[in-house]
Chain A
Amino acid sequence: MSVPNLVVVPPPHLAEERGVSRAMRDVMLAMVPVTAVALYFFRLNSLLTVLIAIGAAAGTEVFVRNLKGLPHRLHDGSAVVTGWMLALCLPAATPWWLVVIAAFLAVGVAKELVGGLGWNIFNPALFGRACLVLLAPLFVWLGVELHVTRFHFPAIDAVSMATPLAMAKQGDLTLAPEVINLFLAYPGGAIGETSALALLVGAAYLIYRKHISWRIPVTTMGTVFILTALLGHHPLFHVLAGGLILGACFMATDWVTSPVTPVGQLIFGAAIGALVVVFRLFTGASEAVAFSILILNPLAPTIDWMTKPRRFGDR
């Protein structure tokens, strides 16, 4: 008796049904609720921003991998997820060419340039958004009008509203929206900031599916809540406004750029929360959430090393 073509490989010879693409599908599902709320508020603008971001992210991945002589890996869904996440970080009325630039920087520079998925040091979507912010003066100098809207649908007016945090910063809290509105749905800021509830539903799904743990979202939001309360500010407002929930649940929990140890995740989340509070209350900086996460991203491996679990058998 003989059997042809037997393969000799190390164990295991059994695998759990899983895959990177399966996780990416779940992440996409988790982004659907907040995207739907944004579609309601911003209509075609938000849809186009999401589609352009996804298309540019996928195109960049194919292009850069082609330059590197590698086959594309669109089937794992990670480029689509990066593009979609980037869209969540952008206002619906962002000009299309800015979306393309951000997507190129996110996928081409933050991800593929450093080795591709798994090797990125910074969260690609946040990297793209942060680059746009840093490049803004350049665009102004070049004389480009940044806040042009593509289409003139009635809902567009809502886009030009200041973000809740900006209103609060101007010292006029009366202008700021009610906390309950912020929680349910409010059309200020980026696409992914339109509904705290929708974000939390998506995050709960990811936790239920075991793609992320509760630790980073809870410690990030908890730290902001506690510190702002201690410093005499409105804690709920600070948790609900300015993309904190989007950052805590979808950006800071990115596998590649966050720690894997349980203790490390608690430290990571708390550090992000503390930095957000420092940025918001003690500096004039906008983009507190994005920069806090981007600052902690490269520290993830160090945090893992410092919080290595106790060695089996060591006391």
Chain B
Amino acid sequence: MQVKTFKQGGVHPPEFKDATASRPIRNAALPPLLVIPLHQHTGAPCQPLVKVGDRVLAGDKLGEADGLIAASVHASASGEVIAIEPRQHFDGQRVLAVVIKTDAAQVQAQFTPPDSAAVTPDAIRAAAREAGLVGMGGAAFPTAVKLAPPPGKPIDAVIANGCECEPYLTCDHRLMLEHADALLSGLRLAMTAVGAKHGYIGIEANKPDAIALLSDKADGNVSVLPLEVKYPEGAEKQLIQAVLGREVPPGKLPSEVGALVQNVGTLIALHEAVFLGKPLTERVVTVSGPGVVQPDNLRVKIGTPISHLFADCGGLTGHVARVVMGGPMTGWAQPNLDSPVVKGTSGLLALTAEVVPSMEGSDCVRCGRCAEVCPMRLLPNYISVTAAAGLYDLAERWGATDCFECAACAYVCPANRPIIHLIRQTKAEISARRRREPK
């Protein structure tokens, strides 16, 4: 198979996908309580539209934001609002959330599908906004905003991101197999929205069944591209480089090089938003890791606490040392099992003591492995050493702000340096300084 890939760096972590790759998506049990955060996206948080004591139907809008960059939040099940209060978020913050006591018998809100004859770019963006769509690959950027190309920046290619390059995760793989038609429909909607002539579906070569199925179904100006199994193949800038051979300039968006990337799950949700009028109230989550009794791909109501998902998968086993929301390379370690699933949650992992990396690190020995694997051509060794010394200006000059935190460097570091921590610290320090000294 002819495979494409990004040009520099990358790592080959073990895939660990066998546990769930062939397990069809099944519906998770409805939890007694849903905790639905009003800020699940990049941009302005939503203001609540409901109050304690209100009864809501599945699909009712719970919160809305005025900002340009924002996404509405909907009830994922019918029930009673019992609290609106700050709750623990996956990233350790506390975020205003609507807590719903779910009904035993679910009542669905009525969705009104739009007139399919009127699928104009504006109508597609409106549907995406109304449905509260955000990127479901992890970054959770509001989809309606991405579907509105900046003036003077024509987009010629939309890339459906089916790489799923993070170990353990198989939710996108299952979606491509089980919802291929919806994916192709969603891709065409995105192409219509931005006026792109070409559509690509980039899939890592370790999913030959998905590649075969979609190649079979894709026609016209949509093509399926097998990509090398290499992390981080699914990172936006790397995927654009692999598929189109274009490099997105530093600090710019993909529209700068005429490209738009959407996760396959997002495109399926776009299809459902436009043709079914369905808001984004559920998503597929891979629950896996050596600490899970029966790993699985679950269709989960947004707001479901993660403890409920582990219980749904037979519970936990062994000495679970770390619980991660997302994939093992970029995911968020959890202090407990209270965080709810949000729109950007692709995976939930229970990692046992045997598989988590050692916490003991030492000084950088300048072996250069990090520089070899950095997909952004950075020299992470200098960033980490300067940041650790508090020399944030120097860390920035070594390119800290170009880093998108794929963690390939930390994955290979023989000295076990906390490189991602140091880079985040640098970025926070630099933006704090910018705020202090506006210029």
Residues from chain A with a CB closer than 8 A to the CB of B252 are 313
A12 touching B310, Cβ below 8 Å: no
A11 at the interface (CB under 8 A from B): yes
Residues from chain A with a CB closer than 8 A to the CB of B424 are 10
Report A287 CB to chain B, min CB distance, Å: 25
Instruction: Tell me the residues in window 7-51 of chain A with beta carbons closer than 8 Å to chain B beta carbons.
Output: 7-16, 18-20, 22-23
**Contacts A20-B414, A314-B247 supplied; 19 other A-B pairs, CB < 8 Å:** A1-B310, A3-B336, A3-B337, A10-B333, A10-B424, A12-B329, A12-B420, A13-B331, A13-B351, A14-B14, A14-B167, A15-B357, A15-B411, A16-B412, A18-B412, A116-B363, A119-B363, A311-B377, A314-B250
Inter-chain CA distance A258–B368, complex, in Å, is 10
Instruction: Tell me the residues in window 389-422 of chain B with beta carbons closer than 8 Å to chain A beta carbons.
Output: 398-399, 402, 405, 407, 410-412, 414-416, 418, 420-421
B402 touching A311, Cβ below 8 Å: yes
B307 touching A261, Cβ below 8 Å: no
A308 touching B379, Cβ below 8 Å: yes
Report A15 CB to chain B, min CB distance, Å: 4
Q: Quick one: given A11-B330, A12-B410, A118-B415, are A20 and B321 in contact (CB under 8 Å)?
A: no
Among A6, A255, A260, A314, which residue has its beta carbon within 8 angstroms of that of B335?
A6
Instruction: Tell me the residues in window 129-158 of chain A with beta carbons closer than 8 Å to chain B beta carbons.
Output: none
Residue of B nearest to A310 (CB): B377
Instruction: Tell me the residues in window 314-354 of chain B with beta carbons closer than 8 Å to chain A beta carbons.
Output: 315-316, 320-324, 328-337, 349-351
Among B8, B334, B336, B357, which residue has its beta carbon within 8 angstroms of that of A14?
B357
A10 touching B420, Cβ below 8 Å: yes
Can you pick out 18 interface pairs between chain A and chain B where the beta carbons lie within 8 Å of each other?
Answer: A1-B337, A2-B337, A8-B92, A9-B359, A10-B420, A11-B324, A11-B333, A11-B420, A12-B357, A12-B410, A13-B328, A16-B411, A19-B416, A117-B363, A258-B366, A309-B8, A311-B250, A314-B250
Name the 4 nearest CB pairs between A and B, nearest first: A260-B368, A15-B357, A118-B363, A313-B249
Residues from chain B with a CB closer than 8 A to the CB of A115 are 363
Instruction: Tell me the residues in window 182-237 of chain A with beta carbons closer than 8 Å to chain B beta carbons.
Output: 211
Number of interface residues of A (CB under 8 A): 43
Chain B contact patch, size range: 35 or more
Binary A-proximity of B359-393 (CB < 8 A = 1, otherwise 0): 10011111110010001111101100000000000
Report A22 CB to chain B, min CB distance, Å: 7
A14 touching B411, Cβ below 8 Å: yes
Q: Quick one: given A13-B324, A313-B237, are A18 and B414 in contact (CB under 8 Å)?
A: yes
Q: Quick one: given A1-B311, A8-B335, A13-B324, are A309 and B377 in contact (CB under 8 Å)?
A: yes
Inter-chain CA distance A153–B45, complex, in Å, is 83
Inter-chain CA distance A4–B13, complex, in Å, is 28
Instruction: Tell me the residues in window 254-296 of chain A with beta carbons closer than 8 Å to chain B beta carbons.
Output: 255-256, 258, 260-261
Q: Quick one: given A3-B336, A118-B366, are A11 and B321 in contact (CB under 8 Å)?
A: no
Inter-chain CA distance A3–B331, complex, in Å, is 18
Inter-chain CA distance A177–B378, complex, in Å, is 48
B366 touching A256, Cβ below 8 Å: yes
B11 touching A312, Cβ below 8 Å: no
Residues from chain B with a CB closer than 8 A to the CB of A312 are 237, 247-248, 250, 375-377, 402
B116 at the interface (CB under 8 A from A): no
Report B49 CB to chain A, min CB distance, Å: 32
Instruction: Tell me the residues in window 100-158 of chain B with beta carbons closer than 8 Å to chain A beta carbons.
Output: none
**Residues of chain A whose beta carbon lies under 8 Å from any beta carbon of chain B:** 1-3, 5-16, 18-20, 22-23, 73, 76, 115-119, 211, 255-256, 258, 260-261, 300-301, 304, 308-314
Report B131 CB to chain A, min CB distance, Å: 30
Report B121 CB to chain A, min CB distance, Å: 28
Residues from chain A with a CB closer than 8 A to the CB of B328 are 11-14
Inter-chain CA distance A242–B153, complex, in Å, is 62
Residues from chain A with a CB closer than 8 A to the CB of B411 are 12, 14-16
Q: Quick one: given A15-B416, A304-B379, are A8 and B365 in contact (CB under 8 Å)?
A: no
B381 touching A260, Cβ below 8 Å: yes
A1 touching B316, Cβ below 8 Å: yes
B358 at the interface (CB under 8 A from A): yes
Residues from chain B with a CB closer than 8 A to the CB of A300 are 366
Inter-chain CA distance A6–B414, complex, in Å, is 24
Report B309 CB to chain A, min CB distance, Å: 10
Inter-chain CA distance A49–B324, complex, in Å, is 52
Report B190 CB to chain A, min CB distance, Å: 23
Inter-chain CA distance A312–B404, complex, in Å, is 12
A14 touching B329, Cβ below 8 Å: yes
Inter-chain CA distance A313–B398, complex, in Å, is 15
Most chain-A CB neighbours within 10 Å: which of B311, B371, B399? B371
Inter-chain CA distance A256–B414, complex, in Å, is 13
* Tally of A-B Cβ pairs under 8 angstroms: 164
Residues from chain A with a CB closer than 8 A to the CB of B414 are 18-20, 22-23
Residue of A nearest to B368 (CB): A260
B421 touching A10, Cβ below 8 Å: yes
B355 touching A14, Cβ below 8 Å: yes
Residues from chain A with a CB closer than 8 A to the CB of B416 are 15, 19
Report B431 CB to chain A, min CB distance, Å: 18
Residue of A nearest to B398 (CB): A308
Residue of B nearest to A308 (CB): B379
Residues from chain A with a CB closer than 8 A to the CB of B349 are 13
Report B294 CB to chain A, min CB distance, Å: 15
Residues from chain B with a CB closer than 8 A to the CB of A8 are 92, 333-335
Inter-chain CA distance A255–B11, complex, in Å, is 21
B212 at the interface (CB under 8 A from A): no
Inter-chain CA distance A7–B334, complex, in Å, is 7
Most chain-B CB neighbours within 10 Å: which of A1, A22, A312? A312
A23 touching B322, Cβ below 8 Å: no
Residue of B nearest to A119 (CB): B363
B52 at the interface (CB under 8 A from A): no
Among B237, B355, B382, B405, which residue has its beta carbon within 8 angstroms of that of A304?
B382
B428 at the interface (CB under 8 A from A): no
Residues from chain B with a CB closer than 8 A to the CB of A13 are 322, 324, 328-329, 331, 333, 349, 351, 356-357
Inter-chain CA distance A118–B379, complex, in Å, is 16
Report B338 CB to chain A, min CB distance, Å: 9
Among A11, A22, A255, A309, which residue has its beta carbon within 8 angstroms of that of B329?
A11
Residue of B nearest to A5 (CB): B321
Residue of A nearest to B422 (CB): A10
Residues from chain B with a CB closer than 8 A to the CB of A308 are 379, 398-399
Inter-chain CA distance A261–B377, complex, in Å, is 10
Residues from chain B with a CB closer than 8 A to the CB of A5 are 321
Residues from chain A with a CB closer than 8 A to the CB of B248 are 312-313
Most chain-A CB neighbours within 10 Å: which of B13, B311, B379? B379
Inter-chain CA distance A92–B201, complex, in Å, is 65
